[in-house]
Amino acid sequence: MREIRGKKALVTGAASGIGRAIALELAREGVALFLVDIDEAGLATVADVCRKSGVEVIQRGCDVGLSSQISATVAAILERWGGVDILVNNAGITYYGRTEDMSAEHWDRLLRVNLQSHIQFTRELLPSLLARREAHVLNVCSMFGLVGMPKLAAYCTTKFAMVGFSDALRAEYGRDGLGVTALCPGFVSTNLFASAPLGEKSKEHKLPPKLLCTSPEKVARAAVRAIRRNRRMVVLAPTARLLVGVKRFVPWLLDFLFHLGRRQRIERKMTRIEAERRERRAA
């Protein structure tokens, strides 16, 4: 899709973070936008900024964790535009904590928002996408869809699934003019992890240093380039490329680093327990 000016796009999770940045970048490129998010106040602000680029912008509150709201949103798109040329599956949430602390409700919500919603939007919009001479699906995945991480089991599960979903769609519909991209950024300066629910045994979020983070704007520019060039996969940021390379060529090193961290935590815990015992004896 070399020319995107005048196209129509749906962006989910558009009120903040990567979704917001992609919406703004598409607006600057002259793309009409249908923006959805559960945060209607934030969505209204983004929509107003996008309109300054002179494009049509429609906003709609939608909890993508609810199938009925997704279907209603798709019906509104088909009624207004007859479909879209670009689908950006971006909405996502996470949970930070040990897997045994996650409830069935946590798993269900994460799977519905991060995976099932994207599948449903794609499935219901697929006929209109295929009716276009050319169209594109951009799935915002993550480096955690390529490399597993401790305390992010559910998030990694959904992102690995989205990478596979992207590959399968591209293999099945690529010859029909449908481009599909799996966008896999590394750490990004958003509030995704800072706002995530914590497990019972996790005292705080382990946020990456800012030096290791890329900006949502850089991710958005890469996303638009990927749409234009019909890239299969885009891995963004040095940290992401490094981790993916380590997993591919020296996977034992990842195991070593994870186990090293575990040993260090155990040693700190034992040191603390021993200090408490000495204090009690002294008392």
What amino acid positions are annotated as catalytic residues? 155
* 3-class secondary-structure state, position 179: strand
Q: Which residue matches tokens 């949502």?
A: 216
Q: What's the rounded Cα separation, in Å, for the pair 38 and 147?
A: 29
State which H helix or E strand residue 35 sits in: strand 32-37
**Of 71, 5, 73, 70, whose CA–CA distance to 34 is shortest?**
73
Which residues on neighbouring strands pair with residue 58, listed in sequence order?
34
* 3-class secondary-structure state, position 149: coil
Strands 135-140 and 57-61: unpaired
**Of 147, 164, 42, whose CA–CA distance to 91 is shortest?**
42
Q: What's the rounded Cα separation, in Å, for the pair 123 and 213?
A: 33
Q: What's the rounded Cα separation, in Å, for the pair 120 and 186?
A: 26
* 3-class secondary-structure state, position 59: strand
CA distances, 14 to each of 40, 47, 96, 261 (Å): 10, 9, 22, 36
Strands 8-12 and 86-89: parallel
Q: Where are the alpha helices (DSSP H) in the chain?
A: 17-28, 40-51, 67-80, 104-111, 117-131, 153-173, 216-229, 238-249, 251-282
